[in-house]
Structure 1
Amino acid sequence: MDSNAVLDIGLDALILAAKLSAPILVTALVVGFAVSLLQSITQVQEVTLSFVPKAIAVSVALLVAGHWMISETVSFTQELFTRIPSLLSGG
């Protein structure tokens, strides 16, 4: 196994991690921004007011994107398993 193969697998793993975390992070960012905007407009500064909507939104995002996330992870793992013979033979 050469260094190019290791770098290729590492790059694919980082891209997969970014793709899998994007729906959750974007959801938390948008909901957090909306709640912060609402808090600044109404001048209500309550910590739980920002936490509970984000937790609910992230849960909904996991329910919506969960199947896609699992299928992406499974396909990446299957691709790694199909690469094993070529990695071991060096070709």
Structure 2
Amino acid sequence: MHADLALQMMSALLWTGLLICLLVLGPTMLVGLMISIAQVVTQVQEMSLTFVPKLITAAVALIVFGPWILRVLAGYMTRLWLDIPHMF
């Protein structure tokens, strides 16, 4: 295995992981930011007020983007397994 191949494989792994994480973490972070702003404005400091909406947002994001995430991961793993004979 050459160094450039290893770097290319690592790059594909990190970009795939980043893309998948952003689909769940992005909306969750936006909801958390909106709730934090609402808490500052209203001075309501209830802990469940921040946790429950973020949990619901993460679950909805996984339900909505789940099939696409599974296709991306399956495609990545298929390419990885099919490229094994060409590595050596």
TM-score category (smaller protein): over 0.9
| Partner in structure 1 of residue 51 of structure 2 | 51
Distance of 1:12 and 1:82 partners within structure 2: 15
TM normalised by structure 2 equals 0.96
Write the letter of the residue equivalent to 2:68.
W
In the TM superposition, residue 68 of structure 1 has moved relative to its aligned partner by: 0.6
| Partner in structure 1 of residue 37 of structure 2 | 37
Answering whether residue 20 of structure 2 is matched by residue 25 of structure 1, we say: no
TM normalised by structure 1 equals 0.93
- State the superposition RMSD in angstroms: 0.7
Extract structure 1 runs of 4+ deviating beyond 4 A: none
User: Share of identical aligned residues, percent?
Assistant: 32
Alignment size in residue pairs: 88
Distance of 2:37 and 2:23 partners within structure 1: 21
Structure 2 unaligned spans of 5+: none
Write the letter of the residue equivalent to 2:17.
A
